[in-house]
Structure 1
Amino acid sequence: MADTRRWVWLGGIVLLCGFVFLLHSILTPFLVALLLAYLFDPVVDRLEKAGMSRTWGVVTVFALFTLIITALVLILVPMLAKQLFRLYELAPQMLDWLQHTAMPWAQSKFGLADGFWKFDKVKAAISEHMDKTTDIVSVVLSQATASSLALIGWLTNLVLIPVVAFYLLRDWDIMMAKIRSLLPRDREERIVSLAGECHEVLGAFVRGQLLVMLALGVIYAAGLMAIGLELGLLIGLIAGLAAIVPYMGFVIGIGAALVAGLFQFGGDLYPMLGIVAVFMVGQALEGMVLTPLLVGDRIGLHPVAVIFAILAGGELFGFTGILLALPVAAVIMVLVRHVHDLYKDSDVYTGIDEPDL
C-alpha cells in the first residue's frame, strides 16, 4: 500500500510537470492572476474581519489596485519614456568615453594589446539601432499588430488576468478548504505543516521582499531626481527591481548612477557625493528599517537560490517558468530542509545500526 501511494504521488508530479510543459504558453495569465490572489488574500481577510463581505472586499481591493496602476501609468510612463530617449542620446557619448578614455587607460595600466576592443563596430551598430527607435510606442504597436492572432492573444491575456484573479480571490478560502479535505487523512497534519512552511517562505519573500524592492525604488528614484540626475527615475527603478537579490540593487544602481552623473555633471564633486549619499541612505534604511519591518525574522529564499531559480525557470519554460520559479524553489527548499533533518536522524548519518532481532 505504501509503495502504491508513492507511485501515485510520483505519477501526479510527473503529470503536473508535463501539463506545465505542454501548456506553458497559455498559463501566464492564470499564474499572474494566482500571484495577485495570493498577494491580496490577507488584505481581503482583514476587510472581512472588519465586517465587509468577501465579495465587496475583493471589489474594494481591485478598485484601489486599479486606481494605483492607472496613476502610475499616467505619471510614470511619460517620465520613463523621456528618460529612455535621453539614454538613447547619451549612449554614443558613453561609447566615445569608453573608447577614447576608459579603455586606453586600462590598456596602459594593465599592458593590454592594441585594438583588443572593437568599439567602432559596437558604436556603429548601436547608433544604427538608435536611429530606428525614434518612437517607442510605434515600435511596440507595430510588433503587437504584426499578427492579428498575436494581438488577439495579447488582449485576451490582458482581460483574463483581472477576471481570473477576481474569482480566485473571492473563492480563495473555499478552494484552500477543499484542497485540504482531499488530503490523505493520515498525512494531513504533515502536509499542512509543510504547506505552512512553504507559505512562510513565500510570504517572507514575495510579500516582504517585493515591498522592500518597491520602497527602495522610490527612495533611490526620489533621491537621484532631487539631486538633479537626468536618468534618476530610470536608474532608481532599475535599482529597486534588482534588489530582488540583496545588495545587487545597490551595486547596479550606484554604478549606473555614478556613470550617468559623470557624463551629466562632468565629475563635479558635490553631485557625485550626493549620488553616493542617496545609495548609502537607501542601504542603511533597507538594513535597519525596511527588511526588519516588512520581512522580519522569517526565513526567506537564499540569494543564490533566487538567481538560480529565475534563470532555470526562464530557460525551461520562458516567462511562465519565471513566474513558477520562486514558488517551486520555496517548496524545494522546505523539502530539502526536512530531508536534511531526516538524514541527520538516520542510521546512515549516525552510523548506529539497529540490532538484529
Structure 2
Amino acid sequence: MNEYILRRKQTLLWSGVGLVLLVLLYILSPVLTPFMLGMALAYILVPGVNMLVALRLPRWLAVAIMFFLLVAVILGVLLIVIPLVRKEVGLAFEQLPGWVAQYNINLAPRLNHLFGVSAEIDILKIREVLQDAITGTDSLTTTIIAYAKSSGSAVIFFFVNLLITPVVLVYLLFDWDKFILSIREVIPRRFLNGTLSVFRDIDRLLSSFLRGQILVMLILAAYYSVGLSLAGFESAIPIGVLTGMLVFIPYLGVTFGLLLAILSALLQFDNYYGLISVAIVYGLGQILEGMVLTPKIMGERIGLHPLVIIFALFVFGQIFGFFGVLMALPISAALSVLIRRVYGQYRRSDFYKT
C-alpha cells in the first residue's frame, strides 16, 4: 500500500511539473522561439558537423562550413522567391485594368441581374488606392508612422530574435555533446533507461522524417519545374523549385506555389490553357506526393491524421508564430512517440484492466 501511495504521489508530482512547464512554455514562447529554432537547426546540422569532424577537420571549421551552407541555402531560396513575387505582382498590376474591364463587361451585369445590386468595379478608385500605396499620401504616411510607433517594439523584437538564433545555433553546434550529456545527467536514475529509450525512438523517427522529407522536396521540385516547363510557363523553374521546397510546410507550401502558378497562368495566357495546365500539373503532383512519394519514401512512420496535422499547425502557429508552423509536423511526430508510450502504459495498468 505504501508503495502504491508513493507511486501515486510521484505521478501527481510529475504531472504537476509537466503542467507548470506547459504553462511556462506558453507564457515564454516569444522568448523561447529563437532558442527552439536554433535547437531545431542544430539537430539538423549536427550530423553534418560530426561527419566533417570524423574526416579530421577541426570542429570550428566543421561548424563554420555547415553554418555557411545553411546561410547559402536560405539566401538561395530568398533569391528565388523575392524576384519571382516582385515580377508576378508587377505584371498583375499592369494587367489589372484589363481584368477589371472584362469583369465589368462580362460578369458584373449577370451579378446585377441575379442579386439586384451594382457589382461594377471602379478602376479609377483602384488606381487611386494603388497610387497611394506606391507614391504615398499624407493619410497613408500618417497611418504608416502610427503603425510603426505602435508595433515598433514587435519589429525590434523580431530582429533581435533574428540575431539571437544564429548565435544559439553556433553555440549548440560547438557544445552539442555537452548539451545532451547535461540533459542526461538531470534525468532521475530510475527513469534513465526508459527516458533514453523514448529519446532514441524520437531520434529515429525525426531522422527518417527529415531524410524522407528532403528527398520528397527534391523530387517534387523537379516534377513541378518539368511539368510547368512542358506546359510553356516562362517562370516554370522558379515556381516549380519554390513549390517543391515549400512542401515541408503542410498544405500552406503547396497552396502558395499553386497561387503563384495560377497568377502566372493569368498573366501569360489569354485563354483557359494556363489554368487547365496548372490544374493538371498540380493535381497530378498531389497524387504523386500523397499516393506514391509519401507512402513509399516516408512510409507510415509519423502516422498522424490530416485533422491532427491541421490542428497542430494552428496550435503551434499560435504559440510560436511562423516558426511554429514550420515545426508543427516534426514536433507533433515527436509528441506522438510519447503519447503512444503513455497509452501503452495505460493499457497495461491495473487501472485499465480492473
Same fold by TM-score, threshold 0.5 exceeded? yes
Q: Does 1:174 align with 2:178?
A: yes
Q: 2: distance between equivalents of 1:194 and 1:126?
A: 58
Q: Does 1:10 align with 2:11?
A: no
Q: 2: distance between equivalents of 1:230 and 1:143?
A: 41
Q: Show CA shifts across 1:215-256 (max 9, x none).
A: 53454246435644356545763575356337x766775676
Q: Does 1:162 align with 2:166?
A: yes
Structure 1 position 36, deviation (Å):
0.9
Q: Does 1:57 align with 2:58?
A: no
Q: 2: distance between equivalents of 1:216 and 1:143?
A: 43
CA contact (8 A) 2:45 2:66 kept: yes
Q: Kindly tell me the number of residue pairs found equivalent between the two proteins.
A: 340
Question: Aligned-pair RMSD on alpha carbons?
Answer: 4.4
Q: 2: distance between equivalents of 1:149 and 1:251?
A: 31
Structure 1 pair 125–14 and aligned structure 2 pair: CA distance change class (3 A): farther
CA contact (8 A) 1:40 1:61 kept: yes
Structure 1 position 172, deviation (Å):
1.4
CA contact (8 A) 2:227 2:281 kept: yes
CA contact (8 A) 1:215 1:240 kept: no
Structure 1 pair 84–28 and aligned structure 2 pair: CA distance change class (3 A): farther
Structure 1 pair 22–143 and aligned structure 2 pair: CA distance change class (3 A): same
Q: 2: distance between equivalents of 1:68 and 1:323?
A: 16
Structure 1 pair 21–279 and aligned structure 2 pair: CA distance change class (3 A): closer
Q: 2: distance between equivalents of 1:213 and 1:177?
A: 33
Structure 1 position 118, deviation (Å):
5.6
Q: Secondary structure at the match of 1:241?
A: helix
Counterpart position of 1:189: 193
Counterpart position of 2:51: 46
Q: Show CA shifts across 1:297-335 (max 9, x none).
A: 633543322211111222345446546644542343223
Q: 2: distance between equivalents of 1:45 and 1:294?
A: 25
Identify the match of residue 244 of structure 1 among 228, 245, 249.
Answer: 249
Q: Does 1:309 align with 2:312?
A: yes
Q: Show CA shifts across 1:147-173 (max 9, x none).
A: 765554343322222111011122112
Q: 1: distance between equivalents of 2:188 and 2:315?
A: 32
Structure 1 position 61, deviation (Å):
0.6
Per the normalisation by structure 1, the TM-score is: 0.72
Q: Show CA shifts across 1:267-296 (max 9, x none).
A: 365x56654564466457646875467635
Structure 1 pair 307–253 and aligned structure 2 pair: CA distance change class (3 A): same
Q: Does 1:299 align with 2:305?
A: no
Q: Mean alpha-carbon deviation: is it higher for 40-49 or for 164-173?
A: 40-49
Q: 2: distance between equivalents of 1:244 and 1:151?
A: 24
Unaligned runs of 5+ in 1: none
Q: 1: distance between equivalents of 2:245 and 2:300?
A: 21
Per the normalisation by structure 2, the TM-score is: 0.73
Unaligned runs of 5+ in 2: 1-5, 136-140
CA contact (8 A) 2:239 2:261 kept: no
Structure 1 pair 291–95 and aligned structure 2 pair: CA distance change class (3 A): farther
Structure 1 pair 327–10 and aligned structure 2 pair: CA distance change class (3 A): farther
Structure 1 pair 242–74 and aligned structure 2 pair: CA distance change class (3 A): closer
Counterpart position of 2:265: 261
Structure 1 position 193, deviation (Å):
1.9
